Structure 1
Amino acid sequence: MTFNDKADISGGKVSKRGRNTGIAVGGGVGVIVLFVLSQLLGVDLTGLAGGEQSGQSQSEEGDSLEACQTGADANTDVECRMKGAAASLEAYWSVEYPLLGGSYVSPNDMQLFTASTQTGCGAASSATGPFYCPPEQAIYLDTSFYDELRGRFGSSGGPLAEMYVVAHEWGHHIQNIAGILEQAQDGQTGPASNGVRVELQADCFAGAWTAAASTVEDTAGVAFLKPVTRDQITDALSAAAAVGDDRIQQAVSGQVNPEGWTHGSSEQRQRWFLVGFENGAEYCNTFAVSASEL
């Protein structure tokens, strides 16, 4: 999607953490497998791999991305685009969530980081992929993930594909304040498991925001985003498909095991994004449908 150049994105609650040291992890097949598991589980597991590690100490500094002020900035810079997406999502859910019967609470932060960082959910690295940390009510994202999305997972990876990722994680925040995340944590896997239902609902929420995004306005009444195009929807769907459990399993092991799914298949993720896009957030109750309807 394209931002309106004059839209005010300065209120987007996004900050950037800088590092002056890195963490080196030994290579090999184990790292590749742990990388994929980290993508699926939202927890950095690469430290479990064998091999020498160095640079464990770190120094982090905050950056509030003050240079990101307008939609024009968001159209030219990925970090500003994250700030613009946060501003739009905040405005959307502050209205939409009360319509669903809840009292909206904003995420505490959306943190952009490089290489690795410490969070309330443990250590995170580029291998972790974007994730939501419930104890902190915060989203963590290394924008280099978008290069992985395009290169390793085959997504077209345009602006809406990038913002779909943010909208999905924001969906987890909605689930957290609604009590859904806590209720669904039963440790089960499979195509109809609660874990998959959580992820598909977040995809559905992302689709609902996408459909409404061009009507969401800043405080001056300027719409953050221009109307979405068919090509942009295809772009978002390519991101949803790229991180489907079946596609990742096939790429890693050459086999697909539905009983091990934690996020849903490519087809499920695309379909539920479209459910939200075509019908709205009120149709995103993935827990109310049968296994065959997932």
Structure 2
Amino acid sequence: MGPLTIRKETMWSDLPEHLMERILECLPVDCFFRFRAVCKTWNTLFSSQHFNSIARNSHPFLILCPSDTQLPSLIYSFITNTWLTISLSFIPHDYPINFRGSASGLLLADINANFLFGYNSPTLCVCNPLTQTYSMLPEMVSVSRITAKTILPAGNKMEEYTVMVVGMSSTGTVLIEAYNSTSKAWKVAGTFPDVVLRSENMLFFKGYLLGMIASGGIMAYNIEQGIISIMAMPTAEANNSRARLVCCKRGVFVVRAIEENHCLKGVIVW
């Protein structure tokens, strides 16, 4: 019997898909874009819902987005302790765009064309920076002027999410309205307390809506019970307009980028 000959060109193609997923899921997020360009099979695997579900749960990352999507965004990998640039120019728009929240690898953005034409609320968009895909949300049912907004996962699949907005209705009532990606519809989730939010940055965590308020501190509002409480913030961040709330599985964080001459010098996480 002669020596065993292994044809390298067929080794990967002969592997079952689930084994390829187990191998590739070990890669840090900054390697995903390189292996995506290897072949059509890997690119298809990269876009599968199962692989994305594994990747987003196994490899947390921080993304910093500029308002001009023609400029590169930055992704920080906690696994390799490195920064990666990524383009968000795949989102179609002719007007300014702002990123208002993130959940499980998805970004919530608003496109401000409506403001230029005298309307109150922007067009909302949910995008996936890793797969370079996006979805425009329909108009809301009751809220006509948005005050704050956030996005949160609504299931085990990446395409399942909920977008929640706080805003004024046509009757002057401040409402909470939620969009479900499965039903593809908006629904009023409750009313909002009489507090002034400092920015449009808002989170939903363990049954509470969280937002930084103008008088300082972080508001936690239980929608079902209608109970509100105020938590203190670090003195340095209490009145910093550039600080943002960020949510992950372990808890809620206040994040602020440190800039010098319009260049990123560091990130503070509290």
Could you say which TM-score interval applies, normalised by the shorter chain? under 0.3
* The structure with more strand, counted as a fraction of residues: 2
* The structure with more helix, counted as a fraction of residues: 1
- RCO higher in 1 or 2 (8 Å CA, sep ≥ 6)? 1
Question: Normalization by structure 2: what TM-score?
Answer: 0.24
Question: Normalization by structure 1: what TM-score?
Answer: 0.22
